[in-house]
A and B are shown apart, each in its own frame.
Chain A
Amino acid sequence: MIFIAVSAQAQIDTTLLRRTPADTSKRKMNMDAIYSRPTLQAGKFPVSLGGYVEANYQHLGTDGISEGHQFQFRRLTLFVSSTISSRIKFLSEIEFEPADKEISIEFAAVDVEFHPLFNLRGGMIVNPIGAFNQNHDGPKWEFTDRPISTEKMLPATWSNAGFGVYGKYYQNKWLFGYELYLTSGFDNTIIENEFNRTYLPAAKANTERFEESNNGEPLITGKVAVKNTGIGELGLSYMGGIYNKYQDDGLRLDDKRRVDVFAVDMNTSIKRTGTTFIGEYAWIFVNVPQTYSQQFGNKQHGGFLDIVQPILKNNLLGWRNAVLNLACRLEYVDYNVGRFKETGGNIGDEIWSVMPAVSFRPNPQTVFRLNYRIQKQRDIFANPAINTAGFSFGISTYF
């Protein structure tokens, strides 16, 4: 929708390169995140370009062993979008992560709009599980790291080949949105990996999923969300399917085993103080063979809550409308929920983190952030926690 508006404006614009600011209209929900980004457009050229970059400095230590000074160039992401004809648009997001020597297409889909309540999307899509997976752009967050639960429990950024439908309905202050996709999905690596735990992100390494599903079974992802423009947004999402290769060449190899993920996400702000709360929590259920090892749990859950408090909104350091925020992120993940068969005792494998932060936004598209992480992690036997703490400083901006 915004792209139609953008090209309509382009007709009368005389400057060659024009900046379309991020659409911050109240009609946007998390599901619109991929489209509501600031982009650059050249005259009448129907293609918009955009992107963001994220770089950090980090100094973390674990139980007396410091990593020292770490300079990290996390990623450069490019968006290319175009309105191909009325009601048909295309958007792609290409990510360069030099540390992984990886150039990956995160998103590349064609949308066909029939009705606000009914649109088709096909291509490489980002599965809408929780809100972070779709709404992960670095400059949107006050923290240099992605939440642990979204990156180390859920597989952000998790995208797959597939197609589906989505739509939105609004009336007065209320918005309702839904999304439903069939895509390729997970594989055995979620319980057979070198992380020594059930680990959905392990499936990201299998790029064959873009060409051929490992077991011919679809992964179903669905999400519903409601938003009240005065209160906030609440999303409920589900993603699930059979993950394992239970047959090959028509021969049976194993039982069919499912992975099911449920997530709740929300964001809200207190008008009077300007405090924003963004949170997400997810539950994962994996059918792990009884005769395999409890090292690989059949249940996980975890989430995060970001609290962001603007403390100065002013002309700061020569930037008009600059904002200085105080923020804090609370995180928890239990990678292995359950009890040992041998003892009936609790299985550990848990992580907690508290991360106070100061962030400075000279403009809404750019953020400088200073974080201090305090993290505790317990092994599978719930032995005394390993402590990690330290500073990170980073910049992230759309361009």
Chain B
Amino acid sequence: MSNKYYEFFCPVKVIAGKAALEHIPYELTGMGAKRPMIVTDKGVRAAGLLEPVVSACEESGLEIISIYDDVPPDSSTSVVKDIAGIYRNEKCDSLIAIGGGSAIDTAKAVNILVSEGGDDIAKYSGAGVIKKPLKPFLVVPTTAGTGSEVTSVAVITDTKKSVKLPFSSSFLLPNAAVIDPRMTLTLPPHITAATAMDAMTHATEAFTCMAKNPLSDAYATAAIKKISHSLLTVMDNPKDAEGRLELAQASTMAGIAFSNSMVGLVHALGHATGAICHLPHGLCMSLYLPYVLEYNLETIREPLGELLLYLDGPEVYAATPSNRRAEASISSLRKLRDELHKRCKLPRTLKETGSVTEDQLETIAEVALDDGSIMFNPKEVLLEDAREVLKRAWA
């Protein structure tokens, strides 16, 4: 009997493509919601991305009751409490998150408070604390990377105790993710590159880490194919709506993959580096990805070699001897990083970031070792291993 076992879960309706935003009123009224609140950030408003959502709703007679557009990049418990207060005062009955990881996580946490009651979000921290469905909730991602629209977790900083509170429950998942190419069309080049590499890392780690399974594998490989196909095209032609949609879909697919199979050492190092050096998450992912794959190489040779098909296409795959495919996958990713560096200076080493000093590596290694993602890395990581990977990623 095989000892293999897995679980796969994704109840999020995906609404994707041309004029997807115009489906929002139908979806919300279908759930009995009449008074939606939008949770977003200043960047989204400045980029003019609020307007198409609001007019899509109002044209259909669904009035947006309240707009909170001040979510900070690193959201906190007090922000969550404030938004929940406005939601209650305005008698809202549903939420629409528009933005990247922070806006989405904030809206997830707000949904806990307005559904479960109270002002103290810390009370609901942890796994499985929430036992019943929350208010109707839609997500409109504006970066093609985090995949937060299909993950059942949220992280909010408790400013008083200066700790990060994790929330995890399948009830945090939105009812629908609305993926409209208009929403990522204006994303600046370096953010396009970094967030796409975050999605690429989600898919690669999902396909090579411990909890990989046939269903997450299918999403992961499809996401990798889309990203390798479209990323450079979009970098050269930012207004390419079709390519933008491909990247946005890939991000959601990679999100579905990794939320069902977890991520590994790239994320552990990335979380640590983000916390210590305040570098954007996607940038850290792009930076560490090849070095971690090299570290894991002998443990993941087979699946990594398989990825060459999706990274470089059937011709290259067929022309590469099977015992060289894993290495070829790594060089393909390195090549992609070189091309991105050419186009938008996306750093490839810690030194190139200009915001990390060599004496910080020890702390990064220590913090990474405490990160939950390290548990699912296919190869055991000890402190000296983390140090070694960081040394190679330095320059």
Partners in one complex: no
Q: Which residues of B are at the interface with A, using a C-beta cutoff of 8 A?
A: none
